[in-house]
Amino acid sequence: MKSLSVLTLLLMTSIGRPIEAADFFQMTVPNAVAKVSKQAQQLRLQNKPEEARALLEPIAKENPSYFLVHYNLGLTYGAQGDWNAAISELEHAKRINMQEGLSEPTIYNSLGWAYLQSGSYDKALAEFQLAQVPGTFDKLNAESQRKVLNNTGLTLAYLGQPAKAAQYYAKAKQIR
């Protein structure tokens, strides 16, 4: 399915028509749904998670396979401090990411952060380590790579491993 989306994108680009992809990851998502998801994301970033949640919950129910709506809803729950709901939505988004072959690398850091906030340090560490797998870590920009390494260090510190934590903090400092 992803190769069909890429093929469509290449065809549209080559014939010179403007492309209006509803969603970068899942081009089959209707434009209206993608716009609401994007609007909700902006509300969350503007520190209006209640408004974002009100927009996201109904479209998440109607679109159980839409990665970004579940990812944004998970981040919104996290912004409200509801870490159990955040974990549930982010795990759902991670499953979609894997099933659809979307290769979105930030899901591991986001899910790891939710686990860390909930006190599930072993699960947090596992997610941060998944974010560091070659092929995934390389897709992250420098800022996101630093976040993953710092979060790994923080988790190791909570797990009582300060020497290992310091190694990850040092690695994070080296990334430019």
Would you state the structure tokens that stand for residue 166, as one six-digit string?
């310091």
Q: Is the pLDDT of residue 129 over 80?
A: yes
- Model pLDDT, residue 67: 92
Cα–Cα–Cα angle for 111, 40, 106, nearest 5°?
A: 25
The full set of domains in the chain, from first to last, is: 1-104 (1.25.40.10), 105-176 (1.25.40.10)
Mean pLDDT for 136-140 is 95
Q: pLDDT digits over 99-121, tens only? A: 988 889 999 999 999 999 999 99
Reduce the secondary structure of 110-166 to three states and give it as a string. HHHHHHHHHCCHHHHHHHHHHHCCCCCHHHCCHHHHHHHHHHHHHHHHHCCCHHHHH
pLDDT number for residue 23:
62
How would residue 6 be classed by pLDDT, with cut points 50, 70 and 90?
very low
Write down the pLDDT at residue 34.
87
Distance, CA of 77 to CA of 88 (rounded, Å): 10
